[in-house]
C-alpha cells in the first residue's frame, strides 16, 4: 500500500485521537524508519518513546522470539519468572529505599498510578501538567 492509501483508510475508519504525521511507516532498523515509498528518516520520536533502543536490534528480536515461543503474555494475576527477574534487577539498580517496583501495561497506567501514589502519600490533590502534554487517556 502507498502512504496515501494507508492514510485514507485510517482517516475513514479510525476514531481520531490526535494529529498524525503525514507519513506511513512500514519498517525500522536501528535509529531509522522508512515510509511506504522507501523514504528513510532518522527517528527522533521513538514511537511514544517505546523504541528508544532503536528498531529491530538482533538481540531484542531474538529475546522477543524466544519469549514468544514460551508464553506471549499473562497478566499479573499469575507469577512469572520473567517478571520476577526484571523486578529483582530493577530493585538492585534502584537507590536505597526504592526497592519496590510496579509494572504497568502503558504510560497511561503508569501516570495514573504515579498520580494516585503522590496523592495518597502527600495528602494533596493538585497536579502540575503541561498543556497539550501527553498524560494518557485513562483520567
91, 101 Cβ separation under 8 angstroms: yes
User: Is 100 inside any structural domain?
Assistant: yes
Q: Which helix (H) or strand (E) holds 60?
A: helix 58-68
Residue 73 lies in a domain: no
Band of pLDDT at residue 62, cut at 50, 70 and 90 = very high
Per-residue pLDDT for 111 more than 90?
no
Q: Which of 33, 29, 31 is nearest to 21 (CA)?
A: 33
64 and 90 both lie in a single domain: no
Residue 77 and residue 87: Cα distance in Å, rounded?
16
What confidence tier does 139 reach under pLDDT thresholds 50, 70, 90?
A: low
Q: Output the nine-digit C-alpha cell for 64.
A: 522477543
Cell 514460551 sits on residue: 70
- Residue ranges making up the domain that contains 107: 81-122
The answer as to whether 12 is a domain residue is: yes
Q: What is the pLDDT of residue 53?
A: 84
**pTM, to two decimals:** 0.72
Cell (9 digits) for 3 = 502512504
The answer on pLDDT for 8 being more than 90 is yes
55 with 29: CB under 8 angstroms? yes
pLDDT digits (tens, 9 = 90+) for 22-50: 999 999 999 999 999 999 999 998 887 77
The domain total for the chain is 2
pLDDT in tens, 81-107: 999 999 999 999 999 999 899 998 888
Tell me the average pLDDT across 7-36.
94
Strand ranges for the chain from DSSP E: 25-29, 32-35, 40-42
Amino acid at each position: 500500500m502507498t502512504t496515501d492509501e494507508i492514510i485514507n483508510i485510517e482517516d475513514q475508519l479510525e476514531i481520531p485521537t490526535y494529529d498524525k504525521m503525514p507519513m506511513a511507516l512500514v519498517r525500522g532498523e536501528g535509529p531509522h524508519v522508512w515510509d511506504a515509498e522507501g523514504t528513510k528518516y532518522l527517528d527522533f520520536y521513538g514511537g511514544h518513546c517505546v523504541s528508544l533502543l532503536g528498531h529491530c536490534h538482533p538481540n531484542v528480536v531474538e529475546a522477543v522470539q524466544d519469549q514468544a515461543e514460551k508464553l506471549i503474555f499473562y497478566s499479573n494475576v499469575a507469577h512469572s519468572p520473567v517478571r520476577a527477574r526484571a523486578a529483582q534487577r530493577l530493585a538492585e539498580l534502584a537507590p536505597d529505599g526504592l526497592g519496590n517496583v510496579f509494572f504497568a501495561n502503558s504510560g497511561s497506567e503508569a501516570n495514573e498510578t504515579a498520580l494516585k501514589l503522590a496523592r495518597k502519600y502527600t495528602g494533596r490533590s493538585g497536579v502540575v501538567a503541561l498543556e497539550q502534554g501527553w498524560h494518557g487517556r485513562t483520567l
